[in-house]
Structure formats: structure tokens, C-alpha cells
Amino acid sequence: MVVAGAGPRPLPQFSVSREVADALASGVPVVALESTIISHGLPQPRNLEVAIELEDLVRRGGACPATIAVLDGVPHVGLDEPGLRRVATEPGFRKIGLRDIAPAIASRSSGATTVSATSFLAHRAGLRLFATGGLGGVHRGWVSSQDESADLEVLARTPLTVVCAGVKSILDVPATLQRLETLNVTVLGYRTSTFPGFYLNSTGEPLDWRVEDPAAVAAVVRSRDELGAVSSVVVANAIGLEDQLDPELHDAVLADALAGAERDGVRGQALTPYLLDAMVRGTAGASLEANLAAVRSNVALAAEIAGEL
């Protein structure tokens, strides 16, 4: 069904699935899921299998999943099976950040939403929880390239709770944490005192705040809401030691990938997919399995937090 967005200004042709609409109406917690992992992050046919698996994880946790994408110029919050299949199999599917939503609507284009676009659309639909793999952040060599993910600015002005495994380890982690501090984004370590590194259990970077259970996260979120703060609460959920990528292999492959990007002149939006692809190839697929382990853990935790809220 097509409804108006829940924010201060309605979105044009904003589609909320029947399952999500019923959940919102009846008070069932809803967890937003991004769609770029389906269209750009995984090979076929595994991408569709994982998309269905993640939605089922949310349901088993007592919440309702809302995978978000733009189809034929219409932002969708919640996808049915044909919609998920389109994201997983349709050729030429765009990657859509917040800046791309308006032209996608105007041109009736289709695409998978990144963290920035998913956060925006989730909030406009009235959702409070978002689970993803790793956030974007400040790229290495920022001083010369000024390359920073749009995720950070959106998190600074969107009052969501975002469960992630830290930021992608291909980034400049200390600089990213500094930017999150500057932007007043609260970062909670979930049963960890150091910031996770996506493929890695820890980057070694200390965190100011640690929480031990979903109820503690919910208490922080309620305090944020009572204060009227508009930034996200990031819940940094570390990948298990048994699931992380071997740290020595990670560092060696990443060093080679960074050198290759410099040699090939890869910059801007092309850099992240280049490095992630190099990590998959250089680790014989182990980085992909670590990514999936992290996402599964984040989705399950987000469902628990949603129940507390």
C-alpha cells in the first residue's frame, strides 16, 4: 500500500508493506534492514537466500523486518518476496544513498539503499531500529582526498538506534571515531570496551561507554529521546572471536588491496567496493563469511533491543 511518510513532510509515493504497516499499528517492534548487501554485497543466488534468512532472524526475535529499497522510483519500507527477488537478481540495480533518493524518485529508477538512505527512509517511516553490517566512515588518506562516507552526517541528524559491527576495517578507524565524536553520535560498546573492526573482533580503539544487555541499550535510547537529541545511538556489536577473520591475514590482504587501489587510481565511490572485493579474493571468501556472521549477530541483537523499546 502507498502511504505518507511519518516525518514532518510526507514523502511522495512512500510504500510501506502490509506486514510493516500492521506491525506499526499493533505495536510490534520493527527492525530496518538495508538492501545493498543483497544487490551489491553477495553473489547470486546466495544473496536472496541471505536476505530471506535475515528477515527470518528478525521474526524469530519477535520483531518485524523492514528491508528497504527503491523500486521504480518508489521508496519501499518492507519488501515482499517478489521485491526481494528483484533486488537480488535485477541487472543494473543502482546503489542509492540519501543524495540519490530524489533523482531516483524523479526518474523512476530502482536501487538498493545504503546506510545513509536506509536510515533516512526508516526514520521517515517511524522506525527506531536499524541493523547493518559495518558503517561507512573516514577513508584512509583523508587529508589529501577528503573522502568521507555520507553515513556519518546522516547518523548525526537521524534519531535511530543502529546496530553494527563497527566500521569497515578498510577505513581509517581512529579518524572515524573522532568524526563520530565531533558529530555527537553516541557509540555504545555491546559487551566490549573497544571498537569492533567489522571483520575483526576489535580494533583496539577504546570506547567511552559499554553496555551489557538490550535493556541497557534501551535505557540509553530513552534518555536520548527524552533529551530531544537528534543523533543516532550506534551499538557496536563485535563479531565473535570464533567468527572473525584471521588478523594477520586481514592485515596482509588489506595492505595489498590498498597498494592496488593506489596503483590503479581507484578513488571516491569506487574505492570501497574495490577494497571489499579484493578482501574476498585475497582471503578466499573468508572475509565474506565473517561479514555474514557479523550481520547475523547484529540483526538478532537489533530484534532484542527492539523488543525492549
CA angle (290 as vertex; 201, 140 as ends), nearest 5? 65
pLDDT over 70 percentage in the chain: 93
> Cα–Cα distance between 173 and 175 in angstroms, integer?
5
Q: What is the pLDDT of residue 145?
A: 57
Q: Is the pLDDT of residue 4 over 50?
A: no
As beta bridge partners, residue 166 has 197
Per-residue confidence (pLDDT) for residue 189, from 0 to 100: 98
Quick check: 306 and 29 in contact, CB under 8 A? Answer: yes
What pLDDT, on a 0 to 100 scale, did the predictor assign at position 8?
41
Name the residue type at position 55: E
- pTM for the structure as a whole: 0.92
Under 8 Å between Cβ of 67 and 75: no
Nearest CA to 209 out of 183, 224, 187, 227 is that of 187
Q: Which pLDDT belongs to residue 269?
A: 67
pLDDT of residue 303: 97
What single-letter DSSP state applies at residue 41? S
Model pLDDT, residue 258: 87
Question: Of these residues, 19, 34, 55, 304, which one is catalytic?
Answer: 34
CA atoms within 13 A on the CB side of 42: 23
Residue 147 reports pLDDT greater than 90: no
Cell of 298: 547484529
Give dist(CA 305, CA 215) in Å, integer: 7
> Who wins on pLDDT, 139 or 109?
109
Same fold, 1-127 and 135-309: yes
- In this predicted model, which residue has the larger pLDDT, 88 or 264? 88
The pLDDT of residue 216: 98
Q: CATH number of 1-127: 3.10.270.10, 3.40.1790.10, 3.90.79.10, 3.30.2350.10?
A: 3.40.1790.10
The mean predicted confidence, pLDDT, of the chain is 92
* 8-state DSSP, 125: T
Please say whether the beta carbons of 136 and 151 come within 8 A: yes
Q: Residue ranges per domain, the chain?
A: 1-127, 135-309
- For residue 127, pLDDT over 80 is answered with yes
Confidence class of residue 142 from pLDDT cuts 50, 70 and 90? low
| 272's grid cell | 570501497
How do residues 55-80 score in pLDDT, each as one tens digit? 999 999 999 999 999 999 999 999 99
Does the active-site annotation cover 95?
no
pLDDT computed for residue 276 by the predictor: 84
Average the pLDDT over 242-259 and give the result: 94
SS3 at position 274: helix
271-282 and 247-264 helices cross at what angle (nearest 10)?
Answer: 130
Alpha helices in 1-80 (DSSP H): 18-26, 36-39, 46-60
- Contact between 144 and 150 (Cβ < 8 Å): no
Catalytic residue at 34? yes
What CATH number was assigned to the domain covering residues 135-309?
3.40.1790.10
Q: Indicate the SS3 state at residue 14.
A: strand
- Out of 19, 55, 148, 168, the active site residue is 168
pLDDT at 112 over 80: yes
